Amino acid sequence: MARTFFVGGNFKLNGNKKSIKEIVERLNGASLAEDVEVVVCPPAAYLDYTVSLVNKKQLSVGAQNTYSKASGAYTGENSVDQVKDLGAKWVILGHSERRTYFHEDDKIVAEKTKFALDNGVGVILCIGETFEEKEAGITLQVVERQLNAVIAEVNDWTNVVIAYEPVWAIGTGLAATADDAQEIHASIRKFLAEKLGADAAEKIRILYGGSANGANCSTFKDKKDVDGFLVGGASLKPEFVDIVNTRK
């Protein structure tokens, strides 16, 4: 089945009103593929502003994190209802920077994923191995462990997009090769088919993330299990349009 190509832009902790306006206006003004879904994810402080700028049917806005509680004494957190109130349709969860710097383990990621989905926000669920884990030959064990934690909490994966992001490729300029990404994506889909059923697995978009850019995106374009990209650094630059249009 045809899965709609999906490109997420993770601005991380970057940007201000001026730069975000430039990025969104560039996307608004570009000739984008008709059949692509683009989700720009600014810092939470700019969600409202970003939502006010997007004006193309392919574009929507996502948050970079939400908490697993609705409200209460959780200083500094963003709730799912709040980001939804600002117009966010998606949230990135399980990003390696959250796992590493903010000590989010598989269980926390799974709880946040369940909470976001139960409250009507789609989840871009990041998984991926470190360099040491890759060298040890345990990439699949790692991503299956990360997925299993979420499978234990979530039955309906309709509003989940998986981003396979090898940690060693994020922000390093060393992207996985398209062949290697395809191999892992195919294994992830096979695993999902075993756990969730073939139909569900066939429908889930699996993005590649990790130093994807305007120069290398076309090498992934014919890989049948690579359904788009999650893009960090290059989402801040004009080349993001080329990544969005990889299959145009």
Of residues 185-214, those binding ligand PEP (CB under 6 A): 209-212
What number of chain residues touch ligand PEP (CB under 6 A)? 14
Nearest CA-CA partner of 11 in 22, 111, 3: 22
95 in catalytic set: yes
| Catalytic member of 37, 129, 165, 185 | 165
230: contact with ligand PEP by CB under 6 A: yes
Q: Is 216 in the site for ligand PEP (CB under 6 A)?
A: no
User: Going residue by residue from 145 to 174, which x/- string records binding to ligand PEP, judged by CB under 6 A?
Assistant: --------------------x----xx---
Query: CB-wise, 47 or 212, nearer to ligand PEP?
Result: 212
Considering the candidates 95, 129, 144, 185, report the single residue annotated as catalytic: 95
Token reading at 175:
């992207």
Beta carbon of residue 211, minimum distance to ligand PEP (angstroms, whole number): 4
> Of 32-40, 114-122, 196-204, 224-232, which part binds ligand PEP (CB under 6 A)?
224-232
165 is catalytic: yes
Binding site for ligand PEP (CB under 6 A): 10, 12, 165, 170-171, 209-212, 230-234
- By annotation, the residues acting in catalysis are 95, 165
